[in-house]
Amino acid sequence: MEDERARQESSQDGSPQSTAERPKQANKPKKEGKDFWDKFSTISTLLSTILIAAVGGYVGHRFEEQQAEEQKKIQETQAVAQLMPFLTGKDQQQKRTAFIAIKALGNTKLMIDIASSDPQSPGAREALRDVEFHAPLQSDRELAVYVLRNFEFAIACDLPFQEVALQHPIDFSDQSCGMYGNPSSTALRIQNLIKNNFCATTDFTDVSTSDFSALQQQVDSKGILGDTSQIPVDRRPFKHVLKDVGEGSAVRFTGYIMDAHYSNLGKGESVNCKSAGPEANDIHISLANKADESDLCQSITAEISPHMRPEGWEPAALARQAEGKVLVRIGGQLMYDAGHRPCSDGFRRPPQRLSTWEIHPVYSIEICRNAQQGKCPADGWKPLAPPPTQ
């Protein structure tokens, strides 16, 4: 009976065939594991071979590049050595040709570096200007401007009045003056460069005399007192002073000319390298919001730089607008001239003004001859120095 029961249990648990298959099922994971590691070993060997080949190729390529770079440096050194007699000679045409030859080697920076060592040379300056205006790389053009601006008029943008610009000796000649002028201190050097900023765009924000008063109040509240001996090096307090308007903003004032004259004709100004004469000095304009204003302490100041100044912006033309009480609109860069102080209780020292904030330099001058009660029709504004007709 027990034997019979055992056979039944055996029959219920599985047939002899299923029992025989159990060892095979137990061995199956071992076979799959072996296959995985075989495949992994094969793939690893393949990847290692590819990686070694790639690294070897990269190292070989870098070695070839370094060899080429070394060879290029040798060629450049040899070329400069052969051109040195022309680079140091007095023949400016030969000097300029030598600089062009160096540039042709494909190293514009090398040419700029060599030219910057002798920037007073006309040949060197012409080569730098060639890079400034014609180099394909923006970085090379900016580097040339950086070098040139120390010695002559060089800006990184188109002039706002490009169509009517007129070249003067202070711009490109033996009498040229750099964008920093002739400063006696770092602070003055920085302020002079700001005075020569022609790149604030012409998207003007209209400002009034009340805005200039508010700007002055903000500066006064910071305890900044205008004086040539106290010009600050840090110009950040002058940024975004009023309604996101501050130094470097493009602004425009509408009003009337009270006075216009050349500044410091005798001794000149630092920003213009202390040069004497009308062509090398700023034109100071006193502006008011009323045609009959007579108190200069109620005026705001605009300064026309001598750099590339149009002929139609000279004092004689401005005086005619003042005499005729013509409504004018003057746009340019807003800057804080820390070398001056405005009128205040008991202080009326020249140049008298409402605020030390100026439009400097001037970018545009427009006039309106048919204004009514201080208002000009939309189509009434005309440039004081119109571009030449085609």
DSSP one-letter string for 84-104: HHHHSSS-HHHHHHHHHHHHH
Considering the domain 186-383 in this protein, what is its CATH number?
A: 2.40.50.140
Residue type, 179: M
Burial of 349-371, coded b for 16+ CB within 10 Å and e otherwise, reads eebbbbbbbbbbbbbbbbbbeeb
φ and ψ of 206, to 5 deg: -75, 130
Parallel, antiparallel or unpaired: strands 300-304 and 327-336: unpaired
Q: Residues with Cβ < 8 Å from 268, sequence gap 6 or more?
A: 274, 275, 276, 280, 281
Per-residue pLDDT at 354 = 95
DSSP 297-341: GG-EEEEE-STT--GGGSHHHHHHHHHTT-EEEEEEEEEE-TT--
Q: How far apart are CA 246 and CA 203, in angstroms?
A: 14
pLDDT tens, per residue, the chain with 390 residues: 445 554 555 445 544 444 444 444 445 555 555 666 666 567 677 667 767 777 666 666 666 677 766 766 666 677 677 777 777 777 878 877 887 787 777 778 888 888 887 777 888 888 888 888 888 889 888 888 888 888 889 888 999 999 999 999 999 877 789 999 999 999 999 999 999 999 999 999 999 999 999 999 998 887 776 666 778 899 988 988 888 899 999 999 999 999 999 998 778 899 999 998 999 999 999 999 999 999 999 999 999 999 999 999 999 999 999 999 999 999 999 999 988 889 988 788 888 999 999 999 999 999 999 999 889 998 999 999 999 874
Instruction: Give dist(CA 257, CA 262) in Å, integer.
Output: 14
Please report the pLDDT score of residue 35 as a whole number: 67
| Residue 245 CB neighbours (<10 A) | 19
CA-CA distance, 97 to 93, in Å (whole number)?
Answer: 6
Cα angle: 125, vertex 130, 135; to 5 degrees: 135
CA 328, CA 376: separation in Å to the nearest integer? Answer: 10
**CB atoms inside a 10 Å sphere around CB 330:** 25
Nearest Cα to Cα of residue 245 among 200, 283, 205: 205
Eight-state DSSP code of residue 209: H
Spatial contact of 218 and 241, defined as CB atoms under 8 Å apart? yes
CA angle (242, 243, 247) in 5-degree steps:
50
Give strand pairing partners of 328. Answer: 255, 367
- What is the reported pTM? 0.73
One-letter amino acid at 269 equals: E
The string over 52-88, giving b where at least 16 C-beta atoms fall within 10 Å of a residue's C-beta and e elsewhere, is eeeeeeeeeeeeeeeeeeeeeeeeeeebbeebeebbe
Residue-level pLDDT at 339: 85
Give Cα 365 distance to the centre of its chain.
24
Helix, strand, coil fractions of the chain, as percent rounded to 5: 45, 15, 40
The one-letter amino acid code at 312 reads G
Q: Any residues with CB less than 8 A from the CB of 302 and at least 6 apart, and which?
A: 253, 285, 287, 330, 332, 358, 359, 360, 362
Angle at 191 between CA 188 and CA 195, to 5 degrees: 130
pLDDT of residue 18: 46
Nearest CA among 97, 380, 371 for reference residue 256? 371
User: How many other C-beta atoms lie within 10 A of the C-beta of residue 313?
Assistant: 21
